Structure 1
Amino acid sequence: MRAIPVLLFLAGFLAAPALAEDGPVTRFPAPEGQARELVVYSTLDTDLAAPLIHAYQARHPGTAVLYEDLLTGELHDRVARESREGGVTADFTFSSAMDLQVKLANDGLARPVVTAETENWPQWANWRDTAYALTYEPAVFAYHIPSFRGRTPPATRAELMDWLATDPQAKGRIGTYDISRSGVGYLFLARDQELFPKIWQIIAAMGRAGVQQFPTSGDLLDRIGDGRLALGYNLLGSYAAEAARRNPDIGLILPKDFTVVVSRVAVVPEKAASPDLGAEFLDYLMSNEGQTLLSETLRLPAVGLEVQGGPGPVGGMQDLSGLRLKPVPVSPGLLAYLDQATRKRLIDRWNRTLAGE
């Protein structure tokens, strides 16, 4: 992990939290006076975002940053409300809810921005220059290493089914997201269904094995780390890689049959108070320096490095070469996941299949 310059750490001590309408706000003062203020709404925790903001400010020392940490739904609703009430909203938004960010763009609430890297950005990661995927986060199998001594953990969905059917220790020790409470879990399942018609056989096998469901990656990784779970299916790779770095008993595998990839998406709102600052921040995050910070310091695999052949492994994970990667495209196709009738049908089928109905 590369070091952050001492100047950036010193700047961090000056960041002052404040009260907010919907979520905690932290103000990062300009390192050298203040001529401008960039307003950011984001779902990335403030402590994780701080190195990005400090590095950006090192290049733009006259810019203060007002950073608001929101939940995904709050972020979308806030931008939509402020935009439609005739006022102004954030200059830049960054969210793990791919569908909601695309909805802002599809509803005309995001402005086109062309950065220095736009021409080189993958087509799937850019919708009409209004919504850009910046990270590249695979869904992985995470497992408790001591539980697989003497046996190779499954590396494909067919091997997962075999393990569920033949290994007694699988009973009650397989875990995954509760798709009714986890947005990323729901997205992973929806994508699995599109790519793999036999996915419901796997869901049924997990049901027979007494699968445990949890709303967050942390819940799953805590239980994998101490052995209460032997294996977790479809975990967000960035969090699993960090947990594996901290706990030597956690291993992770990028599935060899196919690996779903999701992204965190950036938007510059149409009604931004300072759209030039939002575009400038986007340009920085898409630059090689910004993408390297995402990957090496925040340990979030970055589109510009992983897709375009950058150095090193994926945010602490293994090399992606040779894998069948299936990124979720940044496109209006994501809006189907927001349809309530579609969502209800998928969750109902999930529950019925797990119950053996």
Structure 2
Amino acid sequence: MRKLALSIVLIWLGGLAAAFEIEDHARFGPEDAPVTLRILSTTDTAIFARRAARFLETAPGVAIDYTVASSAETMRAIEIERQPFDLVISSAMDLQTKLANDGFARRHVSGVTRDLPDWAKWNDLVFAFTQEPAAIVLSNAAFEGLPIPRSREDLIAALRRNPDRFRGRVGTYDVRNSGLGYLFATQEGRVSDTYWRLTEVMGGLDARLYCCSSQMIDDVARGELAVAYNVLGSYAFQRDDLSGISIILPSDLTTVMLRSVLIPRNAPEPEAAGAFVDHTLAQAFEPGGAFAIDRWLETGDSAALSRIRLGPGLLVYLDRLKMAAFRQEWTNAMLQR
């Protein structure tokens, strides 16, 4: 009878674990570690691997179970399914803020968090540990004979003057499905009329819509796309081969995203989670660390950096009516058929 009950529980847990869609899964550290830190993240495994290795060097007896999901699926896992993860790492600052605001995050206070600048934390619940600009990634071959655009106005002009060259070869986020894409779009649309003009131009050229930065950048590198708009510059700059692409931080406005981490309220290993948070934040402060925004800038770069602020202001565009209205306006501009 006990075996039957246990089997039922395991089947139920297995079904629950499979309910949200997983993009990748990896384990770092010893298989027999007495403590396993379960991390749910929107960050690609290859990029997280270096961070995991550095933390595990300082944490004997700890292993990391790492799950990658989209920002929307991450929200589902924590908010709806109440999955028992120890940490949530996400590029979607607004969704992280919503989780914390709605009571799904545990407070964490330490000497490291007390030293954080105000812009890098919110209510001791959400902590930023990177500054990453939204970039335009271009295929050098696609722009042969044309000036490389340095601003949105430049890009609009290039696309309008050369529709045959760029039709079907412009990529950007599908804001209906991408949490980061929606964050970038709402923040940019709020402060820049140029964003909407560019969106209409891209829509008129049958822009291709994506979920993720890495896919867009790969397609530019392969020559399938000429332009990838609003991708994470950090992903582009960390590629092994940059010879065929140009990475542009727009001179009129470069939106800067803060990748953030929180500890869920139901974290099974809150102490190990806190140690990971402190280690990650301490590294961000180091010279050339993740808070050093100038590491993305070339000498003489004139990009106008606009950092997205953590806090309740990010919840405005998560209101259902505002979200529906924004998505409808975006759809009308982008999908013109």
Q: TM-score, normalised by structure 2?
A: 0.81
Q: Which residue of 1 aligns with 2:314?
A: 334
Q: Which amino acid counterpart does residue 344 of structure 1 have in structure 2?
A: A
RMSD: 3.1
- 2:182 — aligned with what? 186
Where does residue 252 of structure 1 map in the other structure?
247
Deviation at 1:51, TM superposition (A): 3.0
The 5-angstrom pairing of residues 117-132 of structure 1 reads 117-132=112-127
After superposition, where does 1:173-322 map in structure 2 within 5 Å? Answer: 173-243=169-239, 245-288=240-283, 302-303=290-291, 305-306=292-293, 313-314=295-296, 318=298, 322=302
Shift of 1:225: 2.3
C-alpha spacing 1:118/1:323, structure 2 compared with 1 (3 Å):
farther
Give 1:143 deviation, angstroms: 0.7
Q: Name the count of aligned residue pairs.
A: 318
**How many angstroms apart in 2 are the aligned matches of 1:354 and 1:45?**
27
Q: 1:334, CA displacement in angstroms? A: 2.0
Confirm whether residue 352 of structure 1 aligns to residue 332 of structure 2.
yes
For residues 191 and 58 of structure 1, do their structure 2 counterparts lie closer, same or farther at Cα, with a shift above 3 Å needed? Answer: same
- Aligned sequence identity (%): 31
- On the 8 A contact 1:115/1:282 being kept in 2, the answer is no
1:240-299 Cα deviation digits (max 9, x unpaired): 2244x42521111100111011232100122322322211110001112x6779x8xxxx
Matched to 2:234, the amino acid is S
Q: What are the equivalent positions in structure 2 for 1:103-114 lying under 5 Å apart?
A: 103-114=98-109
Q: What SS class does the counterpart of residue 75 from structure 1 fall into?
A: helix
| Partner residue in 2 for 1:12 | none
What TM-score comes out, normalization by structure 1 length? 0.77
The partner residue of 2:110 within 103, 107, 115 is 115
Q: 1:94-116 CA deviation, whole Å, 9 max, x = no partner?
A: 12232222122101221222233
Q: What letter is aligned with 2:61? A: G
User: Partners of 2:210 and 2:81 in 1: how far apart?
Assistant: 34
Distance in 1 between residues matched to 2:229 and 2:25, nearest whole Å:
34
CA deviations 1:33-53 (Å, max 9, x no partner) are 855443333333444433323
Gaps of at least 5 residues in structure 1 are 1-18, 296-300
Q: Match of 1:151, as an amino acid? A: L
Against the structure 1 CA distance between its residues 45 and 273, is the aligned structure 2 distance closer, same or farther, given a 3 Å change threshold?
same
CA separation in 1, counterparts of 2:157 and 2:263? 47
Could you say if the C-alpha distance between residues 351 and 46 of structure 1 is closer, same or farther in structure 2, counting changes exceeding 3 Å? closer
Residue 126 of structure 1: how far off its partner (Å): 0.9
Other-structure match for 1:42: 41
The equivalences for 1:46-85 within 5 A come to 46-80=45-79
Partner of 1:4: none
Deviation at 1:319, TM superposition (A): 5.9
Which amino acid is 2:290 matched to?
A: A
What secondary structure sits across from 1:246 in the alignment? coil
Cα distance in 2 between the residues matched to 1:231 and 1:352: 21
Distance 1:221 1:29, change over 3 A: closer
